[in-house]
Amino acid sequence: MKLIVGLGNPGAKYQHNRHNIGFMAVDRIAADHGFGPWRARFQGEIAEGRLGTERVSLLKPATFMNLSGQSVGEAMRYLKLDPADVIVLHDELDLAPGKLRLKLGGGHAGHNGLRSLHEHIGDGYRRLRLGIGHPGHKDRVAGYVLSDFAKAEEDGLDDLLRGISDGAEALASGDDARFIKAVAARTAPARNSGTRPAPEAPARPTPEKAAEPPAAPQSISDRLRALSERFR
């Protein structure tokens, strides 16, 4: 069994924040793959279902981001799971919007949700880092992550979430290469494969016919001879 955790903050106020992209991703997986209804449990909301042959519980902690580890730890203990059975989906400032990376273990890099997870379950879980970009200065980070995605970012965000859902079965089974391929099919579609007609080549200009050299001027004797021929 796998526990897939989306990180975010509960409530309508935060629903569309960049910090809530983890919630958005597990919501999309639940909707697309026919998971059961969300139920209040483990200090959060949980939905159960299958991804391929893998039994999966999706979890959205309701403890607010800074205390996410409390909810995840409680769920793990009840479900008798190890950290390696947990996959955490979270926002990542150091990746451009639309980009993602899979990682096992490592530090929390100042992310408060990951910091809480480290405190409660250690660092041996897998994490899917979802790029939201960086505002450019550390003093602007708090306001940036708690702001909504811009209108211009919505199409790219939707492509990313669809890609994650498309590859969710591979994510749960540990087939990282197949998962990344599924996401790329949404976020970086192949260029023209040749089915679209190629544009016509521009017509080559027709070379102008070279001008004939002017006839050499006739001598006086030649002109008199020609006149005499005409009046014979």
Rounded-to-integer distance, Cα 188 and Cα 232, Å:
90
Rounded-to-integer distance, Cα 117 and Cα 102, Å:
17
111 is catalytic: no
DSSP string, the chain: -EEEEE----SGGGTTBGGGHHHHHHHHHHHHTTPPPPEEETTEEEEEEEETTEEEEEEEESS-GGGHHHHHHHHHHHHT--GGGEEEEEEETTS-TT-EEEEES---TT-HHHHHHHHHH-S-SEEEEEE----SSGGGHHHHHTSBPPGGGHHHHHHHHHHHHHTHHHHHHT-HHHHHHHHHHHHS-----S-SPPPPPPPPPPPPPPPPPPPPPPPHHHHHHHHHHHT-
Sorted by sequence, the CB contacts under 8 Å of residue 119 that are 6+ apart come out as: 69
Give the pair of three-digit tokens for residue 42: 């483990």
Rounded-to-integer distance, Cα 67 and Cα 48, Å:
23
- From the list 16, 19, 111, 118, the catalytic residue is 19
Residues labelled as active-site residues:
19
